[in-house]
Amino acid sequence: MWQKLSLRSRINLLVALVLALGLAINIARLVLEAAPRVQAEDQSVIRLAREFVETIVSQPVASRQHHAAGGWRRSTRGYRPL
């Protein structure tokens, strides 16, 4: 098969294979280096969500009912909309 290709085609194929191999190695390296950052971001999002839920749960029920009933509209009547 190699003998059927011209020398120019074989060199082009070899260069293309080397470039593809280099690209695959660089992508694998980037993925491996990104793994710790992705895990840290994941833990940060989980911690933030947990704190958000704890904050909502710890609010007094009367305060939540006040906001649900539209009390925040009455308390902002004197403000001009943006």
Domain count, the chain: 1
Q: Buried (b) or exposed (e) across 52-79, using 16+ Cβ within 10 A?
A: eeeeeeeeeeeeeeeeeeeeeeeeeeee
The whole domain housing 21 covers 2-60
Q: Is residue 32 part of a domain?
A: yes
Q: Is residue 37 part of a domain?
A: yes
Q: What is the mean pLDDT of the chain?
A: 83
Q: Is residue 78 part of a domain?
A: no
User: For the whole model, what pTM was predicted?
Assistant: 0.50
User: Model confidence over 59-81: pLDDT tens digits?
Assistant: 776 665 656 556 555 566 666 66
Q: Is residue 70 part of a domain?
A: no
Q: Is residue 65 part of a domain?
A: no
Q: Is residue 10 part of a domain?
A: yes
Q: Is residue 67 part of a domain?
A: no
